[in-house]
Structure 1
Amino acid sequence: MWHSNAFKMDYWWCLQSVIACPLPIPMIYAILLVVAAVVVEGVTGTTKETTISAIGTADIPVERQQDAEAAVREVISPPLGVSVGLVDSLILVPDENDKCPQGYFHCNSSAQCVPQRANCDGSVDCDDKSDELNCDNEVDAKYWDHLFRKNTFGAGDDKKLGDCLWQNENFSCPCRGDQILCRFQQLTELPTRLPQYDLATLDLTGSNFENINETFFEGLPEVKSLVLKFCGIREIASHAFDRLADNPLRTLYMDDNKLQHLPEHFFPEGNQLRILILARNRLHSLNRSDFHNLQQLEELDLRGNRIGSFEAAVFAELISLEFLYLNENQVKRLDAEMFPRTLLRLHTLSLDRNQIEDIDANTFHFPCLRHLYLAGNRLSHIRDETFCNLSNLQGLHLNENRIEGFGLEAFACLGNLTSLLLTGNRFQTLDPRVLQNLSSLDYIYFSWFHLCSAALHVRVCDPHGDGISSKLHLLDNQILRGSVWVMASIAVVGNLLVLLGRYFYKSRSNVEHSLYLRHLAASDFLMGIYLTLIACADINFRGEYIKYEEAWRHSGVCAFAGFLSTFSCQSSTLLLTLVTWDRLMSVTRPLKPRDTEKFRIVLRLLLLWGISFGLAAAPLLTNPYFGSHFYGNNGVCLSLHIHDPYAKGWEYSALLFIFVNTLSLVFILFSYVRMLQAIRDSGGGMRSTHSGRENVVATRFAIIVTTDCACWLPIIVVKVAALSGCNISPDLYAWLAVLVLPVNSALNPVLYTLTTAAFKQQLRRYCHTLPSCSLLNNETRSQTQTAYESGLSVSLAHLGGGVGGGGGSGRKRLSHRQMSYL
């Protein structure tokens, strides 16, 4: 066996050979040498050896590395007696103590253990079907149900307007049940002739109450719910609500107004207010006296204001408070001085979509808190024991932050936590010890499915995959696996035939064009190698992918595969553009002498390969712009980045797949239209005779343009859509990456070589040397040209006559030229 160091020494030599060598045999040798090095040294060994060090231990101090590695080994080790490759695909039997191995969960009434990924996956695995029960997160559902509950003034929606509790009364506003609805009537004062008893709701939405003075509510009847939404309220005078001291008012809606501050004496003593809604006003600060005399208040909604900070005394008197909504404000920091210790009944606190960058220890002192929502902030790190004193917390939302890491004791003291949402953050590794204290956790949500390896004790971990990969397989879809092998085989075999064919059967005419196509085949051959690498990695990790997913994406093998993919894509795109330009010049200027100086031709190719190599190699450099593992952003090591369009280096990705591809596609489309127009214009006088043959040429051109569009256009559209914020289906992304992206590499050999007249002639000559082909030779000897070849020859010859005045040498040059490039 060759020593691995020998392979490493040859890497750069091989790549240089691919760029500079115009002959295919050394090029093929260089590519195969690199592939052998990668497969032997990387795929079968390096990835698995680095698994332990790659999962969640990057930022742990040196003295704690051994403990971290032990914890990771415990998490990823398979059950005794079970093959590693079958760990996640088996349903096991509990041990003698009726316990399941780590990562497996007991069915309710059957002696079975199912893996984590089998829970709530839509497929029944337990005999009692218990693996598909309790899949709805009831903890989060209760929060959302309360937040978006029907308002009290909507309780009578099932009754007709005019179906009034008080009969034989003529009120100034419509009546429905026990509600008076004075909506959007532009009132400037309370309406008259209102019922004075049994009134559940007085809805004054859309009135014009810019200033509420001390006498405003003097005529207010006894009512349980008062709605003052969209009333344009700017000022409320002190003691304006004193009338509420003798009123059974329970709910007050004052959301969507223009309040900038609250009055000193907002509510009188003795009020019975339970719910106060002040959402979407313009409050920028809160004073100590704002919520005096609200000892019975149970819900306070301050969403959508401009509050930047507050002190503990603001909420100190709200001893009955259960729901506090402070989301969509401008709070930047949470410290121990902001919340009082008197909120002993608080069980829901929402601080979503503020600007919180840090949370001090001992900030929260809410022994009854059930739901804490900190989503949509700017948190970058969760320090140890941040959530202590929240021993009864059940639901914690930390999604859509900028979290890059957690202290090992970040979730200490949360033994009752059942739901944890961590999606939309920056961390891509997680030490299993961070979650080990969460013994009651039933639901956990990540952006990346591979993080579930740190939460194998959690019954439901989402997502199960990313469209391409799953917890079991690098390529999850069986059709996808087969498609990779098919595309890889076509790309490798087809382009290898082109390289060998054009090497052994050198064209004497239009050497420049033949050389371009040879390099195009070499470029597309690289895509076949990339697909083969991915297919081999899929086989290598089959059934246990999640255990090696992180190590695989961060390995040098994945980086090399990503480099090959980008290198092939960009060089193929530029070479197709160059080939199209060469054809355009040949068709539109057939009699113009061509530049056949070999130095300039090689210089063009070297420049093209150099640009492609530089673009593909840039993410491999140590540059914070690309991050540490640019190609490892996904399991197939592509730089397309559809699922995370604004990841590090997104401008680079957009440049390659949108800007370059769009320019090339537009140029190719224009060029083939121009070529077809030139051919048809040159044969105007013979249109009736040769129109059918020219249609054959047009059809061939259309096929070439269509394949280019089929490859590039979907990628351009989906990439733009992803950058625009559209939600791209993971399944679409999978097929785009595996089937659409390499389609040109598979079809280019067919379109540019294997179906051309020159290749057919070479095939006939080779067949002529075989005795078994004698009958075929006798049949084909009488056929000098196919319909396409005849039509194209006449069309181009006539074009030459039209342009050059009918010179015989021009037609001869044309006939030689067309055989080599079409």
Structure 2
Amino acid sequence: MKILGIGLESKWKVLFKCLFLVSLSLQLVECHSITLLDTPKFMNENATIFHPLISPSKNSFTNLSLLSDVELKDLPWWCSCSAELEEVEDESECHCEGPKLLLIPQDFINITRLSIANSKFKILRESGLRKYAPSLKDIILMRLNEFYQIEPEAFKNIRHLRTIYISHAPRLQFIAAETFRHVSHSLKTLRITNSGLREVPDMRFLVNGGILSQIDFEGNQISEIFENSIRISTEQLILDNNVLTTIHRSSFNGSQIGKLSLKGNTKLFKLHELAFEGIESIQELDLSSTSIQLLPSIGLDKLEVLRIQNTQSLKQIPSVYMFKSLVKAWLTHSFHCCAFKFPQRHDPESFKRHRALIDNFKSECKAKGYSQLNDADPTSFNNYGNSIGTNIDRRRRRKRRTVETYIIEDDESNITFPYSSDSNSLDGDDIDGLFHEPLKFSNSSLEALCGNLSIDVKDVQCYPVPDVLNPCEDVMGSSWLRACVWIVVSLAIIGNVAVLVVLLMNQSEFTVPKFLMCNLALADFCMGIYLMLIASIDLHSMGEYFNFAYDWQYGIGCKTAGWLTVFAGNLSVFTLTIITVERWFAITHAIYLNKRLKHRKAYCIMICGWLYSITMAIMPLFGISNYSSTRYVKLSMSSQEAVGSLFN
């Protein structure tokens, strides 16, 4: 028995050893497994594919065409490496993915682009990219559902780093400021999109580098931008399609931004009046598809392009004198464009200050002996301050450079973005187009200035352009039309009231034709009330309708007028149709007295007509079409939605 016991014990030991060796072998296989992208955009036909049972460090490889999709799916993880990219010469790429990929593979040599996707990769560690620091330029992490942390100084000493791109990482909520410590000055693109960021990362350590080409935080969960939280120099800062609700005072203090895009933040309604205070330079601003109620003007004196489309909540726009460099504007309402065309009527106080300042400059010119003042010159004198020595113009310097670019695409989000092959092409003060140097002038240039003073402002190309149905000055457009409308209003109201009084007060039999005539008179009376409302708003806003357009279009007056005209129009047509049918029966069956429209049937028919007219008139009040479209004639004009188009 003892011998048997010893034999059983030895068998168990052998079994445990075998299990241990099998487990160790599996772990070694996972550690050397590498993967391949399933689309050709990351690799060419000559790409080298490494699979789990072969170590890439031994230069063993299998041609891509020899492995089927089924075989690739069975691998725990695998990588594809291309020695030469099609878009850019002398650059190589390795792309890795797979469910068991937890760490960055360390077996590659001299790669310039590393991408990881569709894996359970969780943490980008400080030492993860250290081996590739001498050659790595682009790091791309996509579709990583478990990825949640970037360790501090993870990008340290990567001398040629130009792109950091992270996409579809829902667990990545915060990025520490130390993450960007010691990041190379060659960095040009920082994109973290469609992920879980809850606040804008602290990018203080990127300030001392060159000007970035793009910073993109689109599609995250950022809800607020706090005071002094963004200080950066970049051609583009994109914060589209987040859940922004509030932008606090001086949020971009000290920043130089070529284009700032905040579009698609439908819940953004708290935009502090000093939100852009302290911003050093901004050329283009996009606030489309937001819920802002006011547009700050402080800090936007260098703005050249403004976009606020599909933003019905914006009531007023600042005076054109606040935008000293504005060239183009795409707005929601055409009446906001009128503010640029008629600055004196839009903001009389700003116009007075502007004119007083021009008069002061004229006095300075005359005092210096320059008497050739050109008041009729349409050239605007916008960039001026409280003294002649203030910056009055900006000079653009365009640096000629040849930049080779190539595109990386994200299959799920259909995003493309460029990389510059010249890492120093946008450094420092040589940035092109988006940043400008202020041009100061001394008294020696005062003579040229004095010949170009004008109280006029330069034309701003603004869209949508006001037209006949969307006027700037008068609703009616001319005095004769205004007089004709009031005549029609008087006749419609007085005449139809007279008809109702005569028919209802008559002691004779109340016949079906009389009943129908009463309905028609009531419908026409409502149309007269509608015309009176239109004529009243024209009289109230004469010469400056654009200043009253928002309150009119989105107020109770517009909804009332719209309801009246739709109700009256439908009821009038319906009643006329019934009157025509009733007269046709009476004429064609004159000798058959029993073939007449009886009171009971007439009442039932007109009840249906009233219900139909009321329903059609009330539908826009519940979101089917609307009465607040950009037209002063309220006839439920919107046709943007399918149901609204059918309604119209």
TM norm structure 1: 0.44
Compute the displacement of 1:209 (Å): 5.8
Contact 1:333–1:357 (CA under 8 A) maintained in structure 2: yes
Q: Give the Cα separation in 1 of the matches to 2:82 and 2:219.
A: 40
- 1:231, distance to aligned residue in structure 2 (A): 3.3
Could you tell me which amino acid in structure 2 is paired with residue 460 of structure 1?
Q
Partner residue in 1 for 2:402? none
Q: CA deviation at 1:260?
A: 2.8
CA distance in 1, matches of 2:218, 2:244: 11
Distance 2:468 2:42 in 1: 43
Structure 1 residue 401: Cα displacement: 1.1
Q: Deviations over 1:358-415 (max 9, x none)?
A: 1221221344221111222222243332212223110111121111234xxx221322
Is residue 448–residue 463 contact of structure 1 (8 Å, CA) maintained in 2? yes
Equivalent positions of 1:508-523 (< 5 A) are 511-512=511-512, 514-515=513-514, 517-522=516-521
Which residue in 2 is equivalent to 1:398?
287
Q: Which residue of 2 aligns with 1:462?
A: 463
Residue 424 of structure 1 and its aligned partner are, at CA, apart by: 2.2
Q: Tell me how far apart the structure 2 counterparts of residues 633 and 193 of structure 1 sit (CA, whole Å).
A: 56
Equivalent positions of 1:78-89 (< 5 A) are: none
1:417-816 alignment runs, 5 A limit: 417-427=303-313, 429-430=315-316, 432-433=318-319, 435-456=320-341, 457=457, 458-465=459-466, 468-471=469-472, 511-512=511-512, 514-515=513-514, 517-522=516-521, 525-526=524-525, 529=528, 546=546, 549=549, 561-569=561-569, 571-572=571-572, 633-638=629-634, 640=636, 642=638, 718-719=645-646
Supply the distance in 1 between the matched residues of 2:238 and 2:197 (Cα, whole angstroms): 14
Residue 415 of structure 1 corresponds to which residue in structure 2? Answer: 301
Aligned to 2:257, what secondary structure does the other structure show? coil
Q: Could you tell me how far 1:312 is from its partner in structure 2?
A: 2.8
* 2:224 equivalent to 1:333: yes
> For the Cα contact (< 8 Å) 1:374–1:397, is it kept in 2?
yes
**2:89 aligned with 1:204:** no
State which of 250, 270, 282 in structure 1 corresponds to 2:137. 250
Higher normalized strand content (fraction of residues): 2
Residue 370 and residue 448 in structure 1: after superposition, are their counterparts in 2 closer, same or farther (change >3 A)?
same
Tell me which residue corresponds to 2:202: 312
Q: Deviations along 1:765-795, whole A, 9 cap, x unmatched?
A: xxxxxxxxxxxxxxxxxxxxxxxxxxxxxxx
* Residue 240 of structure 2: aligned partner: 352
Shift of 1:426: 3.4
User: Given that residues 247 and 270 in structure 2 are in contact (C-alpha distance below 8 angstroms), is that contact kept between their aligned partners in structure 1?
Assistant: no
Aligned partners of 1:319, 1:603: CA distance in 2, in Å?
Answer: 80
CA distance in 1, matches of 2:529, 2:476: 14
CA RMSD of aligned residues (A): 5.7
Question: Do the aligned residues in 2 keep the contact of 1:308 with 1:332 (CA within 8 Å)?
Answer: yes
Q: Tell me, what secondary structure is at the counterpart of 2:139?
A: strand
Asked whether the equivalents of residues 567 and 613 of structure 1 are also in contact (C-alpha less than 8 Å), the reply is yes
Question: Which amino acid in 1 is paired with 2:631?
Answer: G
Count of residues in correspondence between the two structures: 446
Question: Which residue identity lines up with residue 464 of structure 1 in the other structure?
Answer: V
Amino acid at match of 1:469: N
**Residue 128 of structure 2: which of 240, 245, 250 is its match?**
240
Counterpart CA distance in 2 for 1:369 and 1:430 is: 25
TM-aligned CA distance change 1:233 to 1:471, over 3 Å: farther
2:103 alignment partner, one of 199, 206, 213: 213
Q: Relative contact order (alpha carbons < 8 A, sep ≥ 6): 1 or 2 greater?
A: 1
Unpaired stretches in structure 1, ≥5 consecutive residues: 1-152, 176-181, 620-624, 646-714, 721-735, 737-822
Q: Distance in 2 between matches of 1:286 and 1:430?
A: 37
Q: Secondary structure of 2:564's partner?
A: helix
8 Å contact from structure 1 (residues 533, 561) kept in 2: no
**CA distance in 2: counterparts of 1:402 and 1:221, whole angstroms:** 51
Contact 2:582–2:596 under 8 Å retained in 1: no
Instruction: Report if the CA contact (8 A) 2:329-2:462 is conserved.
Output: yes
Shift of 1:276: 0.8
Matched position secondary structure for 2:164: strand
Q: Counting helix residues as a fraction of each chain, which structure ranks higher?
A: 1
Hey, what's the Cα distance between the residues in 2 that align with 1:557 and 1:337?
Answer: 43
1:361 aligns with 2:249: yes
Residue of structure 2 aligned with 1:231, choices 118, 122, 127: 118
Matched residue, 1:788: none
1:189 corresponds to which residue? 78
Q: Is the 8 A contact 2:305 2:327 kept in 1?
A: yes
Alpha-carbon shift at residue 642 of structure 1 (Å): 1.6
CA distance in 1, matches of 2:527, 2:124: 77
Q: Tell me if the contact between 2:180 and 2:203 (Cα under 8 Å) persists in the aligned partners.
A: no
Q: AA paired with 2:638?
A: I
CA contact (8 A) 2:45 2:64 kept: yes
8 A Cα contact 1:211 1:233, kept in partner: yes
Instruction: Name whichever of 437-446 and 545-554 sits farther off.
Output: 545-554
Per the alignment, residue 294 of structure 1 pairs with: 183
The alpha carbon displacement at 1:566 in A equals: 3.2
Following the alignment from structure 2 to structure 1, what is the Cα–Cα distance between the partners of residues 556 and 177? Answer: 59
Contact 1:475/1:538 (CA < 8 Å) preserved in 2? Answer: no
Secondary structure of the residue aligned to 1:393 is strand
Inter-CA distance 280–556: structure 2 relative to 1 (3 Å threshold): closer
Q: Distance in 2 between matches of 1:416 and 1:317?
A: 21
CA distance in 2, matches of 1:394, 1:370: 5
Counterparts in 2 of 1:332 and 1:719: CA distance versus 1, 3 Å: farther
For the 8 Å contact 1:351–1:375, the answer to whether it is kept is: yes
Q: 1:697-735: CA deviations, max 9, x gaps?
A: xxxxxxxxxxxxxxxxxx966157xxxxxxxxxxxxxxx
Counterpart AA for 1:571: L
Contact in 2 for aligned 1:553/1:637 (Cα 8 Å): no
Distance 2:607 2:78 in 1: 82
* Structure 2 residue identity aligned to 1:642: S
Aligned to 1:108: none
- 2:175·2:202 contact (CA, 8 Å) conserved in 1? no
CA contact (8 A) 2:268 2:291 kept: yes
Once residues 171 and 232 of structure 1 are traced to their aligned partners in structure 2, the CA distance between those partners, rounded to angstroms, is: 22
| Deviation per residue, 1:232-274 (Å, 9 max, x gap) | 353346322222123x221222233334313426335344211
- Whether contact under 8 Å (1:199, 1:223) holds in the other structure is no
Kept after mapping to 2: 8 A contact 1:534/1:636 = no
- Give the drift of 1:350: 1.4
CA distance in 2, matches of 1:321, 1:403: 30
